[in-house]
């Protein structure tokens, strides 16, 4: 039976740049950095120190994962900044927002109140955007939050 998600993929344009961004700017740790076989694919994963059961694979869209036409199309979409890659959680969004901004993280939205909590939006070095969210305490998941 499924026990949960263990690895999630984020498409990036350059492994080394992404590794620096996710570790140096976001503060994640490298879990795996290896090449699979001779001239094979680089397998680079990172994760939050306090969440050992989940890794993020930083994957360049290339062979053998994708055919050349699909890889090129995906690279363009990533670079264009139209792909949302997920949500990073925090328990102090205002302080962490200032820390990440000081480290050079590009925010496209400052922290704003939402029905589910306080959210900011940032982009990684490839163009992917992420929600950065501090969930509201005692959030009523049964409530109609439509605006």
Q: Residue 109 is part of a domain; what is its CATH number?
A: 3.10.180.10
Average pLDDT value over all residues in the chain: 92
Predicted TM-score (pTM) of this structure: 0.88
Tens digits of residue pLDDT in 44-79: 999 999 999 999 999 999 877 789 999 999 999 999
Residue 76 inside a domain? The answer is yes
Q: Which residues pair with 10 in a beta bridge?
A: 58
3-class state of residue 35 by DSSP: strand
Residue 146 inside a domain? The answer is no
Residue 131 inside a domain? The answer is yes
Please give the average per-residue pLDDT across 110-131, as a whole number: 96
Q: What percent of the chain has pLDDT over 70?
A: 93
Question: Could you give the CA distance from residue 141 to residue 109 in angstroms, rounded to a whole number?
Answer: 25
Q: Is residue 105 predicted with pLDDT exceeding 80?
A: yes
Q: Is residue 141 predicted with pLDDT exceeding 70?
A: no
Residue 86 · residue 47 · CB < 8 Å: no
Residue 96 inside a domain? The answer is yes
Residue 117 inside a domain? The answer is yes
Residue 128 inside a domain? The answer is yes
Residue 102 inside a domain? The answer is yes
Domain containing residue 70: 7-135
Q: Is residue 145 predicted with pLDDT exceeding 70?
A: no
Residue 147 inside a domain? The answer is no
Q: Is residue 140 predicted with pLDDT exceeding 60?
A: no
With a CB cutoff of 8 Å and minimum separation 6, the contacts of 16 are: none
Domains identified in the chain, total number: 1
Q: Is residue 143 predicted with pLDDT exceeding 70?
A: no
């Amino acid at each position: 039976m499924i026990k949960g998600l263990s690895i999630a993929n984020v498409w990036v344009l350059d492994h080394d740049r992404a590794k620096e961004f996710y570790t140096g700017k976001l503060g994640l740790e490298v879990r795996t950095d290896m090449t699979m076989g001779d001239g094979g694919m680089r397998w680079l994963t990172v994760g939050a120190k306090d969440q050992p059961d989940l890794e993020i694979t930083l994957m360049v869209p290339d062979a053998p994962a994708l055919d050349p036409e699909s890889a090129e199309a995906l690279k363009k979409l990533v670079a264009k900044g139209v792909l949302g890659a997920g949500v990073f959680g925090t328990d102090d969004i205002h302080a962490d927002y200032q820390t990440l901004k000081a480290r050079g993280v590009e925010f496209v939205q400052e922290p704003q109140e939402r029905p589910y909590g306080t959210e900011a939006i940032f982009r990684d070095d490839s163009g992917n955007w992420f929600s950065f969210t501090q969930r509201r305490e005692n959030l009523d998941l049964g409530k109609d939050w439509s605006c």
